[in-house]
Amino acid sequence: MFRLAHLSDIHLGPLPDLAYRDLVSKRITGYINWRRHRRSNLHEGIIDAIVADLKASEPDHIAVSGDLMNLALSGEVELSRLWLEALGAPDKVSVVPGNHDAYVPGALDKACAAWGPWMHGDGMEEPARRGAFPFMRVRGPVAVIGVSSARATAPFMASGFFGDGQAERLGRLLDEADAQGLCRVIIIHHPPVRGADPAHKRLLGIGRFQKVMRKHGAELVLHGHTHLPTTHRIEGHKRDIPVVGVAAAGQAPKGKRPPGQYNLFEIGGDAGTWRIALTRRGLSDDGTKVQTIKTELLAE
């Protein structure tokens, strides 16, 4: 049995000291939003509790589906790298970026440079960079495939993008993994499901992504972005594919969204007969403990 943990939307805080020049960009709107909402609703103490429980479950691998940062400041890039080092060795943790990690032009390049070891696919000769996604890492019976939907957007926008280049490369990796009899798990930040997000936050290229799924198939898709624990299904090559979201890892109790959670998947079986069970673990409503929220059988 292979155990895969999934967490997302870390939004590490507090923010480092800002200079006025840091706010001459889209960051001014993000800073105001952080002061009004995220500073009180997302808390690093909750993240610590979630990660401690996650580590106690002893997963074989950890998937992080983006938004480690808030405004993608240089200090946040370094803080998030240190957090990843504490989370696990690069061969044990796979990361894809989110829209907050690409908050302004140039931010995603800095994130890729800092987090490269956690984004480096098996056999990749070049360092992780924007044009190198998707990457694939084989861990036991599982092929972990990281797709990037992150891009810099205009103020008040948080949309993602999945283009033709990634679609073509993703199809090749899915076929390669299928030929090896592996369980194919895709990590992406934005949900590749219609209606999962309002227009200004949606993934541009949902149809393109789902076309790849219909042609090549996959066993599981993991995403973040919505801060909600959801399960959808999309059409795959041979069977429907579960698409699973997760609450933000540091979400405080008594907010509009569920308090911090992570997903734990148990994957067993073999090619064509994969059994995938999901356990959602998260903070209780009173914030006193981390507990099982829900269990669900996704495939058998």
Query: For the domain that residue 180 is a member of, what is the CATH number?
Result: 3.60.21.10
At 164 the pLDDT is 97
Q: Which residue has the tokens 């810099």?
A: 152
Please give the share of the chain, as a percent, with pLDDT higher than 90: 70
Return the structure tokens found at 46.
């909750």
Return the structure tokens found at 20.
């006025």
How long, in residues, is the chain? 300
Would you give the end-to-end CA distance of the chain in angstroms? Answer: 13
Residue 183: its H or E element: strand 183-187
At 75 the pLDDT is 84
What does the pLDDT look like over 158-187, one tens digit per residue? Answer: 899 999 999 999 999 999 999 999 999 999
Q: Would you say 267 and 274 are in contact if contact means Cβ atoms under 8 Å apart?
A: yes
Distance CA 148, CA 112 (A): 11
Show Cβ contacts of residue 141 under 8 Å, excluding neighbours closer than 6 positions: 2, 181, 182, 183, 267, 270
Q: What is the mean pLDDT of the chain?
A: 89
Strand ranges for 52-158 from DSSP E: 61-64, 93-95, 135-139, 142-146
At 176 the pLDDT is 98
The predicted model gives 71-96 an average pLDDT of 92
What does the pLDDT look like over 38-83, one tens digit per residue? Answer: 544 555 688 999 999 999 999 999 999 999 998 878 888 998 999 9
Count the domains in the chain. 1
At 109 the pLDDT is 93
Distance CA 298, CA 98 (A): 25
Q: How confident is the model at residue 32 (pLDDT cuts 50, 70, 90)?
A: very low
At 20 the pLDDT is 44
Distance CA 182, CA 138 (A): 8
- Give the 3-state secondary structure of residue 213: helix
Domain of 183? 2-299
Closest residue by Cα to residue 27 from 98, 103, 111, 108: 103
The predicted model gives 238-243 an average pLDDT of 94
Distance CA 297, CA 257 (A): 24
